[in-house]
Structure formats: C-alpha cells, structure tokens
Amino acid sequence: SQQGEEDPQALSIQEGENATMNCSYKTSINNLQWYRQNSGRGLVHLILIRSNEREKHSGRLRVTLDTSKKSSSLLITASRAADTASYFCATGSDRGSTLGRLYFGRGTQLTVWP
Amino acid sequence: DGGITQSPKYLFRKEGQNVTLSCEQNLNHDAMYWYRQDPGQGLRLIYYSQIVNDFQKGDIAEGYSVSREKKESFPLTVTSAQKNPTAFYLCASSPSPISYNEQFFGPGTRLTVL
C-alpha cells in the first residue's frame, strides 16, 4: 500500500511543549506533505518536502524526511491550545497511474492542554 | 473570495435513494478530487479528475459516480449501490494533476443514511 502511517495515533501535551509526529511509508515517493484538520473541517496544507530534501522549516513547524528509512517527522515547537487538531501525512510519487494522487495516512490526533 | 465550496454541510438520505454532493471551486484549478473519511480513518480516494471532461476511479469508486462537465464543478453522486455511505465527504482541488501541488480542501459534507 502507498498509504502512509502516522505514529502515535494520539498525542496529548501541555502548552509550550514540543509535539513530534512520525509518518512511515512503503513505496518510493517524490514528495511528502503534512496537512492539518480541525474537527469536522476540511484539511489545510502545512508543508511539503521533496524527496531530495532532508529538512524543511515553516514558522514553528519542522519537517524531516529520511528516504532510506521511508519515514518523516513533523515537529511543532512551543505548542499552543490552537494547535489541537488531527495531522495527516500524504505521499506522492507521480508514477504512471498515481499521477496527481496523494496517499493519506490515518492521522495523529494532537491535543494541547492550556 | 477564492476557494472551494461544498454543499450541503449536512445531508440525510433514506436507504435506496441517490444523493448528489456539490463541489465548486473558483481557483481555476485543473485537478479535482473526492475523498471519503470515516471516524478515526484517513482519507480514501473515491474519484479524481485531472482535467475537464475526464475522470478516473480511485480506490473505493464502487457505488459512486461523478461528472466533470465544467472546470469549476465536480459533483459526486452517492448511489443506492453504495452499501455503507454514512461518512464525511471531502472535495479538493489542485492547480494541475501532479502530486507536488498542495491540495485545497472544501469544508466537507457529512452524509447520514437513515
């Protein structure tokens, strides 16, 4: 399956702490993206990292990608209650029939307590 | 105000009825996608369209149908052949049908079969 798998399924932390979520996948990819979903809403794109990149930053977000281990991590620093949401990784490869498709994992539910 | 809209937000259907979920975008995007999300699950692709007048089956197309007669519109019909249609349905679009593009999501339609 090309679907990514996030770990842990649920994460509960206090405000100010860092939150780390991991994503593993099984096939070769050309990019990996992270999305956020607030309860009952659509997904919002956070960050994209290409297969030739190892690390990327955006504000309080830091994403790493290790293609040899087929894994990625999303770090949210100094978390806030407003960061409470589900976070999904999505992989793309654009090979043949997968052109334009993203494969989403099941997500990590992050709860940040005030 | 550019974006992607879905209607209705909530939809109730009796068993044996077909229902159509609306998805409209004014972002001038070529590619559009329909996903299904079940509780605690990731997103599963139902159908996608890389360009107007063209669409392909995703991983769970059985019991669903789509059309793409206009660039800005990609309606999804849930037919009576879909055995377990109760779910949260998300529509997305991207500028072109390559996975490097982020996908922009609508707010979703929650379908409940009574």
pLDDT in tens, A57-74: 999 999 999 999 999 999
**CA-based nearest distance B14→chain A, Å:** 22
Residues B51-106 have pLDDT tens digits of: 999 999 999 999 999 999 999 999 999 998 898 999 999 999 999 888 888 999 99
Question: What's the rounded Cα separation, in Å, for the pair A31 and A25?
Answer: 12
> Which of A3, A101, A103 would you mutate first to test chain B, the one with the most B CBs within 10 A?
A101
Tally helices (H) and strands (E) across chain A.
0, 11
Determine the distance in angstroms separating the CA of B90 from the nearest CA of chain A, rounded to an integer.
7
Looking at residue B98, its pLDDT comes to 84
Identity of the amino acid at A112: V
Minimal Cβ distance to A41: which of B58, B92, B108? B108
Residue range B10-27, pLDDT digits in tens? 999 998 899 999 999 999
Instruction: Give, as one character, the DSSP assignment of residue B103.
Output: P
Burial of B92 (0-12, 13-18, 19+ CB in 10 A): buried
Residue type, B77: T
Cα separation values, B75 from A16, A87, A102, Å = 43, 27, 20
**Residue B83 burial by Cβ neighbours in a 10 Å radius (0-12, 13-18, 19+):** exposed
- Residues in B touching A102 (Cβ below 8 Å): 99, 103
**What is the percent of chain B with per-residue pLDDT over 70, rounded to a whole number?**
98
Cβ atoms of residues B63 and B79 within 8 Å? yes
Provide the pLDDT for residue B34.
Answer: 98
Query: pLDDT (tens digit, 9 = 90+) per residue, A73-106?
Result: 999 999 999 999 999 999 998 777 778 899 999 9
Residue B32: pLDDT above 90?
Answer: yes
Residues of B in contact with A107 (CB under 8 A): 42
Cis peptide before B8 (omega within 30 of 0): yes
Average confidence (pLDDT) over A101-113: 95
Residue A81 CB neighbours (<10 A): 11
Query: Looking at residues A27-38, what average pLDDT do you find?
Result: 94
Cα Rg, chain B, nearest whole Å: 13
B93/A contact by beta carbon, under 8 A: no
Residue B1 has pLDDT above 70, yes or no: no
- Give the nearest partner residue to A100 out of B31, B88, B107, using CB atoms: B31
Q: How far is A80 from chain B (nearest CA, A)?
A: 23
Which pLDDT belongs to residue B41?
80
Q: What pLDDT score does A97 carry?
A: 73
Q: Give residue A72's pLDDT.
A: 97
Rounded distance between C-alpha atoms, residue B80 and residue B35, angstroms: 18
Amino acid in the structure at residue B20: T
Q: How far is B13 from B85, CA to CA, in rounded Å?
A: 9
